[in-house]
Amino acid sequence: MAKNSRSKKSNRIYVNRDIRANEVRCLDQNNENIGVISIGKAIRIAEEEGLDLVQISPPNGGVPTCRITDYGRYKFELSKKQKERARKQRESAIKQKEIKFRPNTDINDLQTKARMASKFISEGCRVRVSIKFKGREMAHKFIAEDRFNEFLECMDVDVSILNEPQIDGKAMVALLAAQKKQPSNIERAS
């Protein structure tokens, strides 16, 4: 429980008289370095300009770095950067979809599922193919392997098999992705 309170404290932004240092490295509104000055002088400079003194980096063995800025604007810019970072991380994450069918699934249904898998792969997603077994179907795994091969033949796009079909509990599972394009070795004529 103490660990959580410490992590909350480390994310805290110290402003004006909350800064616990005698000297600070001070930056003005334009990120120009004023230098290392006493905390009282830095707060006076900030108050004269009608702004706040905000600690922007912790004192890692030395003096903390502070900026003279509007505290509300600083918090807004900080949250904006965090939202942008989270959005980029979400967009760059590889999405994974799943297609499920049984060993006795009819060929027409298999073609429909193959079209959906082709669509997912063309959108940049990975596709996890699960062939679910029931009852005594586990004794006839070769039927599921044949069904998986038929599924691959029905697909419209070129795929690479990242994980070969393996038995996982009562299912045979494989992971598919778009096939990487090979760079061409054709030299351009100048």
Q: Does domain 2-77 correspond to CATH entry 3.10.20.80?
A: yes
Is 113:99 a contact under the CB 8 Å cutoff? yes
Give pLDDT, residue 17.
81
189/95: higher pLDDT: 95
Give pLDDT, residue 186.
53
Q: Which fold has domain 96-178?
A: Translation Initiation Factor IF3 (3.30.110)
Kindly tell me if the per-residue pLDDT of 34 is higher than 50.
Answer: yes
Is 99:128 a contact under the CB 8 Å cutoff? yes
**Using 50, 70 and 90 to split pLDDT, how confident is the model at 188?**
very low
Give pLDDT, residue 130.
93
| Among the listed residues 112, 94, 89, the one whose alpha carbon sits nearest the alpha carbon of residue 175 | 94
Q: What is the mean pLDDT of the chain?
A: 83
Give pLDDT, residue 100.
93
**CA quadruple 76, 78, 80, 82: dihedral positive or negative?**
negative
Domain extent listing, the chain: 2-77, 96-178
Is 185:166 a contact under the CB 8 Å cutoff? no
Give pLDDT, residue 80.
93
Ranges 7-11, 32-36, 125-129, 135-139, most confident: 125-129
Kindly tell me if the per-residue pLDDT of 184 is higher than 70.
Answer: no
* pLDDT tens-place string over residues 97-113: 999 999 988 889 999 99
Percent of the chain with pLDDT over 90: 19
Percent of the chain with pLDDT over 70: 88
* pLDDT tens-place string over residues 67-92: 888 888 888 988 999 999 998 888 77
Give pLDDT, residue 1.
45
Give pLDDT, residue 110.
92
